[in-house]
Amino acid sequence: MRGRNVVGLILAGFLLVALAIVWRRTIGIAQSDALTALDARKVQLQGERVRLESEIRAASSRQRLGEVAENRLGMRIPSDNQVVFLPRSAQDGRP
């Protein structure tokens, strides 16, 4: 093989290695970007979940429902003799 060909091969190899490195870094940065975006999205959704759960708790609290149940639906707290405790069944835990 002539010297010029060897130099050409070396240069081509160098170019390929350089391209591979640049490609790897580009892919790495793109993936890192995507990971950061997903992480932000996860945080966003977790925050949303906390907010929604808090709203559900507020909406289903006795403070909120009690007034509606008593004033709008005419419900009331049962007296203690209207509450019957059923003994738990030994077989399946249900009376």
Which residues contact another protein by CB under 8 A?
Answer: 29, 32-33, 35-36, 39-40, 43-44, 46-48, 50-51, 53-54, 57-58, 61-63, 66, 77-91, 94-95
> Cβ 66 to another protein, closest distance in Å?
5
**Residues 76, 82 contacting (CB under 8 angstroms):** no
Closest approach of Cβ 87 to another protein, in Å?
6
Q: Can you tell me the distance from the alpha carbon of 69 to that of 55, in angstroms, rounded to the nearest whole number?
A: 19
Q: Indicate the residue among 16 and 39 with the shorter CB distance to another protein.
A: 39
What are the structure tokens assigned to 56, written together?
Answer: 């559900």
- Whole-number minimum distance, CB 24 to another protein, in Å? 13
Cβ closest to another protein, residue 15 vs residue 33: 33
Between CA 50 and CA 83, with CA 56 as vertex, the angle to 5 degrees is: 135
- Per-residue tokens: 20: 């591979």
Tokens describing residue 51: 């907010």
